[in-house]
Chain A
Amino acid sequence: MKPKFPIYGYLAEFHDGDELLAAAKRSRAAGFTVMEAYTPVPMEEVAHTLGYRTSLPWIVLAGGVLGACVGFGLQYWTSVIDYPMNIGGRPLNSWPAFIVVTFEMTILFAAASAVLGMLWLNGLPQPYHPVFNVPAFELASRNRFFLMILSRDPRFDMDATKAFMDGLGALSVKEVPH
């Protein structure tokens, strides 16, 4: 499908985090919904202003539960079903001795799901993104704060949105090519 607008969005550059936060709030109040902010430091309020909440903790919980089941299941199956050894009539399912490996597997699976889940939800690795086309954007990993309104936003308009963003008090507003 051919994109509706010739650009990916408008990118406004801010001098500090509070200005960005204020601009994000104003944009949200103005009815924009498809936005993204770029900051050199994590800023929880900005993400919340833009309306993001993450489901990552549930993925990690699921990973941990799966790890516990795999860890205990492996030991139960090998010790009770596949290779039972009767030693003085002691129970085959000697679960206290299985706790350590079960625990380690829980941690391993949960940690792996935290990392892989974070990357997957973030769509990383992603070598190309239109925002990298703006030369000033390399300061996003140093000391500048950026707000982008994407052209996918239902309220987006080439001229009106530009005028709106010019009024946000940004250092500059740039077009982001596709």
Chain B
Amino acid sequence: MSGPKSPHAEGGTPVIGPGHSLASVTDQISKIVLTRKTPMGWFIGLGVAMLGVGLLISAIGWLLWWGTGVWGLNQPVGWGFAIINFVWWIGIGHAGTLISAILLLLKQEWRTSINRFAEAMTLFAVMCAGVFPLLHVGRPWLAYWLLPYPNTMGMWPQFRSPLLWDVFAVSTYATVSALFWYVGLIPDLATLRDRAKSLVWKRIYGALALGWRGAARHWERYETAYGLLAGLATPLVVSVHTVVSFDFAVSVIPGWHATIMPPYFVAGAIFSGFAMVLTLAIPIRRIYGLEDFITMKHLDNMAKVILATGMIVCYGYAMEAFFAWYSGSPYERYMMANRMFGPYGWSYWALITCNLLVPQLLWSARVRSSVAALFAIAIVVNVGMWLERFVIVVTSLHRDYLPSSWGMYYPTVWDWALYLGTIGLFFFLLFLFIRFLPMISIFEMRTLVPATGEEPPKKGLHIASAGASSGASAGEARRP
């Protein structure tokens, strides 16, 4: 972050394709937003995502009209899809903060080209997550009762409840993620302002850039602020999923009341978040020809993070089973047996397949260097982490202490509609983001190349570099 560095600092595969300069990096990323004609695929993608948004609006409308009875919730399973999807989305968001904050503090240069859209992913995932608890309260128009404000009832929220801690943790997380993202964007918005051709966009980007002009003393404070934000976001991201796990761990339900929950939730969050970053990065780098910036080195590193956090998550599964047996509590033991061999046993074994068995393929360097295999594994992990939340929520609740109060949970079509709807919202926001804002941090990419004002060669830059980066740039070279 502090001044230009060698792109080859880490040795081995470079984190940026060869032959780039300050000018070429700036031009190539900003032209995606500014001058290139919008690809047809973008319109198709946005259209499909808008169908999802329509589904979301219908699902919310139906729910508000009829009440939470349209969901499959019942006694004993009062926490169905709403909590499963909330935890899933929040977890996905965590990789963005991890990439932008923790890897920044650890001076991992390879984060530079993926942090911007990972942060955007965080923001959008938190928005999707927020939908669920808000609707799950039953009367969302009274959701402001969760906040401490002086009121005529003379009441205050219950500060000793994990559910209230969640309100503070998630709203702080959303705010800090948005601040971090926007601060990171300011110098790039100034670049877009200086390079936009149309007056309207010049004005829009200019207003958003707040008059940034790259003054040395501004940079000094900017870098300080950015570093401090990273330092603050790091404990925050750990705290958020810890607090989410408290929603479970502080209760007395078998399978939830365990000290393993916080670290296991945090590792699971990073695991699923990196899988989502891979799921998004692989098609984006191909469609926009960004193979010089998001290199195989990035994909390889992300695969390794997935493998490592996946092993931590599996340790969590093993410990859950061990605790259940070693506790000697008949309820804990029954919970585990029921989780594995009860009516929802299929979900447990599917989860083990997705999160424990399939990621083991990542030990192989050959698998890690195959883009198609990585994409497939990332999707499997996304599914696996959703199943994990399903297993934790449903199998613990549906059979707890008294057999007379046991029951089954079946999600309804409106549960699925709301879930698919939030996926639509996520992609809708993501498509808008990649069209109107630089999806790769331009100024941070500039720090990876030598600080000279060389102009890029007029033509053939990418063709020349295609061979060197093992044909990865072929997609870009083919473009006119």
Chain A residues with a Cβ under 8 A of chain B = 14-18, 36-47, 50, 52-54, 56-57, 60, 74-75, 78-79, 82-83, 94, 97-98, 100-101, 103-105, 107-108, 110-112, 114-115, 117-119, 121-122, 124-129, 131-132, 137-145
Decide: A17 near B194, CB < 8 A? Known: A44-B223, A114-B228, A124-B210: no
Could you pull out 20 A-B pairs where Cβ atoms are within 8 angstroms?
A: A17-B451, A40-B26, A41-B3, A41-B4, A42-B3, A43-B2, A45-B3, A47-B219, A75-B159, A104-B165, A107-B232, A110-B228, A111-B232, A115-B182, A118-B225, A124-B211, A140-B213, A141-B194, A141-B195, A143-B23
Residue B233 at the A interface, CB < 8 A? yes
Q: How far is the CB of B166 from chain A (nearest CB, A)?
A: 9
Asked if B213 and A118 make an inter-chain contact with CB atoms under 8 angstroms apart, the answer reads: no
In the bound complex, how far is the Cα of B224 from the Cα of A40, in angstroms? 17
Binary per-residue interface labels of chain B (214-238) against chain A in the complex, 1 for a CB within 8 Å, 0 otherwise: 1111111111110011001101100
Interface SS of chain A: helix, strand, loop or mixed?
Answer: helix
Kindly list 15 other residue pairs between chains A and B, CB separation below 8 angstroms, not including A42-B3, A47-B220.
Answer: A37-B215, A38-B214, A38-B215, A40-B443, A41-B443, A52-B220, A53-B220, A79-B160, A83-B155, A107-B236, A115-B229, A127-B211, A131-B213, A139-B194, A142-B191
Instruction: Kindly state whether residue B358 has any CB partner on chain A within 8 Å.
Output: no
Partner of B239, one of A17, A75, A104, A117: A104
Tell which of B165, B194, B450 touches A100, judged by Cβ atoms closer than 8 Å.
Answer: B165
Is the C-beta of B10 less than 8 angstroms from some C-beta in chain A? no
Contacts of A142 in B (CB 8 A): 22-23, 26-27, 191, 194-195
Instruction: Verify A111–B179 contact, CB threshold 8 A.
Output: yes
Number of residue pairs A-B, CB distance < 8 angstroms: 212
Number of interface residues of B (CB under 8 A): 69
Q: How far is the CB of A131 from chain B (nearest CB, A)?
A: 6
Q: Are A74 and B148 neighbours in the complex by a CB distance under 8 Å?
A: yes
Q: Which residues of B contact A (CB under 8 A)?
A: 1-4, 21-23, 26-27, 148, 154-156, 159-160, 162, 164-165, 168-169, 172, 175-176, 179-180, 182-183, 187, 190-191, 193-195, 206-207, 210-225, 228-229, 232-233, 235-236, 239, 243, 246, 443, 446-447, 450-455
Within 8 Å by CB of A42, from B179, B243, B447, lies B447
B109 CB to nearest chain A CB (Å): 13
A45 partner residues in chain B, CB cutoff 8 A: 3
B1 and A42 contact, CB distance less than 8 A:
yes
Docked Cα-Cα span, A57 to B229, in Å, equals 11
Cβ distance A168 to chain B, nearest Cβ, rounded Å: 15
Nearest opposing residue in chain A for B3, CB measure: A43
Report how far A79 CA is from B162 CA in the complex, Å. 16
- Closest CB in chain A relative to B373 CB, distance in Å: 36
Q: Please give, as numbers and ranges, the residues of chain A lying within 8 Å of B156 by CB-CB distance.
A: 78-79, 82-83
